[in-house]
Structure 1
């Protein structure tokens, strides 16, 4: 099996790993209640999606 002739330097190794970053998820505002939610998903606060009530949220 082939083995590398030289050790990979830390700079070269870290340059290769620069694109493996954790990104913050995209956020959008709900058209109905104005709260922050994930795009293309039902609003967890009011239960609306695209102006239609999809899930009935019970208030305490």
Structure 2
């Protein structure tokens, strides 16, 4: 099983997403403020598309 980590760009802040890469290609994402809360599960391809969308501003308001 993988381990949770924050981006090195987060600066160690309290309001971050944490990510865990699992064997078999699954990627889990959770809110660092609520580690016992819900977890989003992505395939590797879905996570790659999500990160690409975030980089391209698709989720900006």
Does 1 or 2 have the higher relative contact order (CA < 8 Å, sep 6+)?
A: 2
**Coarse TM-score class (shorter-chain normalised):** under 0.3
Greater fraction helix: 2
Q: State TM-score, norm by structure 1.
A: 0.22
What TM-score, normalized to structure 2? 0.21
